[in-house]
Chains A and B, each alone.
Chain A
Amino acid sequence: MGGTSGADSIQPVSLRRGMGLRRILILIILGAGLWAFIQLNLTPADLIPNPGGLQVAGKFFSRALSPALTYEAEFVPANTQPLLWKAIQAAGTTVVFAAAAMSLALVAGLILGFLASTAWWVGDPAGGRSATVVFLRRSVAPIIYGSTRVLITLMRSVHELLWAVLLLAAFGLSHLSAAVAIAIPFGGTLAKIFAEMIDEAPRDVAEAYRGSGASSTQVYLLGLLPRALPDMIAYAFYRFECALRSSAILGFFGYPTLGFFIAASFENLHYGEVWTYLYTLFFLVTVVDWWSGALRKRFAV
């Protein structure tokens, strides 16, 4: 802020107008933030926790360095599996749900991403002179990618937890509804980003292949897509990490993923167990991150 007004005083006269607009915009954004605070009745006093809450938080965080290796409950039924084995199983279920969701999301993302991109409408520079082609390009193409974009936005604008609530109400606690709940918003996000990556990929190779007589389909599939593919793979891996977290959280609805056990242990005040499950999740995300990093290095441009 100080920098803005300082710079303003030495701006040439011709730039004054632009700076004025920018200042108005900053004021509007600040005003909106202030209004939100007032609406929510946020005061500095809210930052001071009540003593009870502080105690719980203290107990919880004090276990961070000593996660439980065995159950904290006083009575454990004889045939119960060991805690660590249970954590591993929950991690496995979390991965399975995330993988199922990502597979669906990838299919949706690739198809919708293709339809929402504009690169496939770029015709041959020496062709496309016939009236039908021109008509199709001017009328049908905008309808297809326009409506696809609307669909993608609808998918993305509802969070996976909300989709889960809706699908659970409709289909009950089925495995498919969990996978689909994650797959819908993830498919939308993948489609949006894939479309952008395809449209922004360098066209040099595509042009070269076209110049050597390749068909438009060859040009698109073998000349343009490979240029976008490294970025698309890296992004898909990042989304897989996000899917792991979402899959864990779906446990709150009763699916046997990490979230289910985290919630159960938390309710029983078994904070050591909570940390065991949290570290398992942390480990999962780290493994995926490391794996995607290794692959990215292989595909790197």
Chain B
Amino acid sequence: MFHLNGASVTYGSTVALDSINLQIRPGEAVGFVGLSGAGKTTLFRLLNGMVRPTRGTVQVNGNSLASLSLEELRQVRAQIGFVHQDLSLIPNLRVLHNVLAGRLGRLSLWQGARTLLFPPRSCVNEVYEILQRVGIPEKLYQRTDRLSGGQRQRVAIARALFQRPKGLLADEPVSSVDPARARSAVSLLTQISREEGLTLCVSLHNLELAREFFPRLVGLRKGRIAFDRATEEVKEEEFQSLYDLGAANGGGTSDREE
């Protein structure tokens, strides 16, 4: 699904990612851990085709990002659902419309506008089914800003699923909700991805959740891959090494609070 070979991303003189080699097979579930600023977000934007590598190659479903036209790049993006840290929902729209917007990438401007303004029956039914899967079917016609944080997060997941993606990326999806909700959200993501056969990449501050739900973990540190192996093989020192920067004021524990 994703194949990175020596991929680097630089913004001006800042190196966000440095020679990343990474291979993720279709249907795999991978957790990404590391401090803020370690490059997780840039890496996800790379996998999503929002950024092209400055050096090296990135292949998504066999397409090399560097050689794609913008139009082809959009088709690649449409195959990958993205759950954003800030959720990126329009608060004064109904849940239905926020979810419907997930499919814009597969529709023309006119079709997209029509789907949002006059949603066809079939689309509404499909949104309802997806909302059932994420556990909030009764919120279909609710305004999004009337929902709780946890419910809004489910709307963001539903939007990504309505996109009919092959892969799902979630960048710090649980940093804004309480621990119990965080657990159920990660559980939901992994469960749906398994059932649908989606490739799942989730970046997490919370090490316990990462260990519990993901068979494979990738640790990022200062734009480089610190480790990439089966979860049970990752040593405690390796986790500690990710948080060296914050060691002066208690390192690892401060990140677990989020």
Pull 30 A–B residue pairs with CB atoms less than 8 Å apart, ordered by A.
Answer: A124-B70, A124-B73, A125-B51, A126-B50, A126-B51, A126-B52, A126-B65, A126-B70, A208-B82, A209-B104, A209-B105, A210-B77, A211-B48, A212-B82, A212-B101, A212-B104, A212-B160, A212-B163, A213-B75, A213-B77, A213-B78, A213-B79, A214-B112, A222-B101, A222-B112, A222-B116, A226-B90, A226-B92, A226-B93, A301-B92
- What chain B residues lie within 8 Å of A77 (beta carbons)? none
A127:B73 contact, CB within 8 angstroms: yes
B49:A212 contact, CB within 8 angstroms: no
Quick check: is A147 within 8 A (CB to CB) of the other chain? no
B74:A215 contact, CB within 8 angstroms: yes
Quick check: is A70 within 8 A (CB to CB) of the other chain? no
Most buried by B among A213, A214, A215: A213
- From 39 to 56 in chain B, residues with beta carbon under 8 angstroms from any chain A beta carbon are 45, 48-52
Question: Known: A218-B109, A221-B109, A222-B104. Contact between A127 and B81, CB under 8 A?
Answer: no
- What chain A residues lie within 8 Å of B89 (beta carbons)? 205
Query: How long is the Cα–Cα vector from A222 to B116 in the complex, in angstroms?
Result: 9
Chain B residues in the interface with A (C-beta under 8 A): 45, 48-52, 65, 70, 73-82, 84, 86, 88-93, 101-106, 109, 112-113, 116, 145, 160, 163
- What chain A residues lie within 8 Å of B104 (beta carbons)? 209, 212-214, 218, 222
- What chain B residues lie within 8 Å of A124 (beta carbons)? 70, 73
Question: Known: A211-B48, A212-B78, A222-B101. Contact between A126 and B73, CB under 8 A?
Answer: yes
Question: Known: A125-B50, A126-B73, A215-B74. Contact between A209 and B101, CB under 8 A?
Answer: yes
A214:B93 contact, CB within 8 angstroms: no
Quick check: is A92 within 8 A (CB to CB) of the other chain? no
B105:A300 contact, CB within 8 angstroms: no
B112–chain A nearest beta-carbon distance, Å: 5
- What chain B residues lie within 8 Å of A209 (beta carbons)? 101, 104-105
A214:B105 contact, CB within 8 angstroms: yes
Query: How long is the Cα–Cα vector from A301 to B70 in the complex, in angstroms?
Result: 33
- What chain A residues lie within 8 Å of B160 (beta carbons)? 212
- What chain B residues lie within 8 Å of A207 (beta carbons)? 50, 84, 88
- What chain B residues lie within 8 Å of A208 (beta carbons)? 82, 84, 88
Most buried by B among A208, A212, A214: A212
- What chain A residues lie within 8 Å of B48 (beta carbons)? 211
A184–chain B nearest beta-carbon distance, Å: 31
Question: Known: A208-B82, A212-B105, A301-B145. Contact between A218 and B112, CB under 8 A?
Answer: yes
- What chain B residues lie within 8 Å of A204 (beta carbons)? 84, 86, 88
Query: How long is the Cα–Cα vector from A217 to B113 in the complex, in angstroms?
Result: 11
- What chain B residues lie within 8 Å of A213 (beta carbons)? 74-79, 104-106
- What chain A residues lie within 8 Å of B90 (beta carbons)? 205, 226-227
- What chain A residues lie within 8 Å of B49 (beta carbons)? 126
Quick check: is A299 within 8 A (CB to CB) of the other chain? yes
Most buried by A among B65, B74, B76, B103: B74
B117–chain A nearest beta-carbon distance, Å: 10
A210-251 interface code vs B (CB 8 A; 1 in, 0 out) = 111111011001110011001000000000000000000000
B97–chain A nearest beta-carbon distance, Å: 9
8 A-B pairs closest in CB distance: A213-B105, A213-B78, A208-B88, A213-B77, A214-B104, A127-B70, A204-B88, A213-B74
Query: How long is the Cα–Cα vector from A223 to B74 in the complex, in angstroms?
Result: 16
Query: How long is the Cα–Cα vector from A220 to B104 in the complex, in angstroms?
Result: 12
- What chain A residues lie within 8 Å of B86 (beta carbons)? 204
A211:B50 contact, CB within 8 angstroms: yes
Query: How long is the Cα–Cα vector from A221 to B109 in the complex, in angstroms?
Result: 9
With CB as the reference atom, state the residue of chain A lying closest to B108. A215
With CB as the reference atom, state the residue of chain B lying closest to A209. B104
- What chain B residues lie within 8 Å of A226 (beta carbons)? 90, 92-93
A212:B81 contact, CB within 8 angstroms: yes
Query: How long is the Cα–Cα vector from A217 to B50 in the complex, in angstroms?
Result: 17
- What chain B residues lie within 8 Å of A301 (beta carbons)? 91-92, 145
With CB as the reference atom, state the residue of chain A lying closest to B82. A211
With CB as the reference atom, state the residue of chain B lying closest to A210. B50
A45–chain B nearest beta-carbon distance, Å: 56
B92:A300 contact, CB within 8 angstroms: yes
B77, B81, B82, B113: the one contacting A222 at CB < 8 Å is: B113
- What chain B residues lie within 8 Å of A230 (beta carbons)? 92
B88–chain A nearest beta-carbon distance, Å: 4
A177-213 interface code vs B (CB 8 A; 1 in, 0 out) = 0000000000000000000000000001101111111
- What chain A residues lie within 8 Å of B51 (beta carbons)? 125-126
- What chain A residues lie within 8 Å of B45 (beta carbons)? 125, 211
Query: How long is the Cα–Cα vector from A215 to B105 in the complex, in angstroms?
Result: 7
With CB as the reference atom, state the residue of chain B lying closest to A203. B88
- What chain A residues lie within 8 Å of B109 (beta carbons)? 215, 217-218, 221
With CB as the reference atom, state the residue of chain B lying closest to A212. B105
B77:A212 contact, CB within 8 angstroms: yes
With CB as the reference atom, state the residue of chain A lying closest to B116. A222
- What chain B residues lie within 8 Å of A221 (beta carbons)? 109, 113
